[in-house]
């Protein structure tokens, strides 16, 4: 058993390209370059969305910087006034050695899930994120933030349910409009609806 494990570990090590180590100065420069990549998301937003699975819906999205460039956001789908149908929170942190953003989300009662990575491409952000981890219906989403302005942004996600072999284009789209400046404290993410 131990020999088989050693062989598997060796094969995996050889198959995975090594990431060259970066100097402290290179990592600091990378962080400095990318620390504001998600600044457009800071604040309070109202959105409308269309999903090929769930139809049309609306919601609120709030984001705040909590420390060292880390972003915490809360995305809520709303029903009748004051009713939250669904909510998820996402932590976004920049990984300078890997030169990418890393994301992890949580839903009530399901622990940490929805792992993903993000990169800025020009004026757009691109995310690849796994949904439904540990369920019978896992999927991979390629999310694209674009048309980013001071008071609006657009969001589109393609979805694959077969490990990226095929994709459903624009599985879900969002149009978001700013309704408030960046909150100054994390508690602002969960303030009640008015």
pLDDT of residue 27: 75
Percentage with pLDDT > 70 across the chain: 81
Helix (H) or strand (E) holding 33: helix 24-34
In a domain, 12, yes or no: no
Burial class for 63, CB neighbours closer than 10 Å (0-12, 13-18, 19+): buried
Residues 6 or more apart whose CB falls under 8 angstroms from that of 155 comprise 47, 143, 144, 145, 146, 173, 174, 175, 176
- Is residue 9 a part of any domain in this protein? no
Q: Answer yes or no: is 125 within a domain.
A: yes
How many Å apart are CA 148 and CA 129, to the nearest integer?
A: 20
**Residue 188 pLDDT class (50, 70, 90 cuts):** very low
> Would you state the structure tokens that stand for residue 178, as one six-digit string?
């700013």
pLDDT digits over 165-186, tens only? 999 999 999 999 999 876 544 4
Residue 167 lies in a domain: yes
Which residues form the domain of 121? 29-190
User: Taking the model in full, what pTM does it have?
Assistant: 0.78
Identify the pLDDT of residue 182.
61
User: Is 19 part of a structural domain of the chain?
Assistant: no
pLDDT of residue 2: 41
- Is 90 exceeded by the pLDDT of residue 74? yes
- pLDDT attached to residue 1: 41
pLDDT for 158: 98
112 located within any domain:
yes
pLDDT band at 111 (very low <50, low <70, confident <90, very high): low
Count: domains in the chain: 1
Instruction: Return the pLDDT at 20.
Output: 64
β-partners of residue 100 are: 95
Arithmetic mean of pLDDT over the chain: 82
Look at residue 189 in the predicted model and tell me its pLDDT.
Answer: 42
Residue 33: other Cβ atoms inside 10 A = 13
Q: Which residues pair with 126 in a beta bridge?
A: 119, 144
Mean pLDDT of 129-149: 89
Inside any domain, residue 18: no
Q: Which CATH number characterizes residue 45's domain?
A: 2.40.128.20
Per-residue pLDDT tens digits for 7-61: 333 333 444 455 568 788 877 877 777 788 899 999 999 999 999 999 999 999 9
Would 107 be classed as within a structural domain? yes
């Amino acid at each position: 058993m131990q020999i088989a494990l050693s062989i598997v570990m060796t094969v995996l090590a050889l198959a995975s390209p090594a990431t060259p180590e970066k100097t402290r100065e290179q990592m600091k420069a990378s962080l400095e370059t990318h620390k504001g990549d998600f600044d457009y998301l800071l604040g309070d937003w109202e959105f409308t969305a269309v999903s090929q699975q769930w139809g049309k819906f609306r919601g609120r999205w709030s984001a705040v910087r909590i420390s060292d460039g880390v972003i915490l956001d809360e995305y809520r789908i709303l029903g009748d006034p004051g009713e939250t149908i669904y909510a998820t929170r996402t932590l976004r942190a920049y990984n300078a050695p890997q030169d990418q953003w890393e994301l992890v989300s949580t839903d009530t009662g399901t622990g940490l899930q929805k792992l993903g990575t993000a990169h800025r491409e020009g004026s757009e952000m691109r995310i690849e994120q796994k949904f439904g981890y540990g369920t019978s219906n896992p999927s991979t989403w390629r999310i694209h933030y674009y048309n980013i302005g001071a008071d609006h942004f657009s969001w589109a996600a393609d979805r694959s349910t077969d490990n990226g072999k095929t994709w459903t284009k624009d599985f879900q789209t969002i149009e978001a409009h700013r309704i408030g400046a960046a909150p100054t404290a994390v508690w602002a993410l969960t303030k009640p609806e008015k």
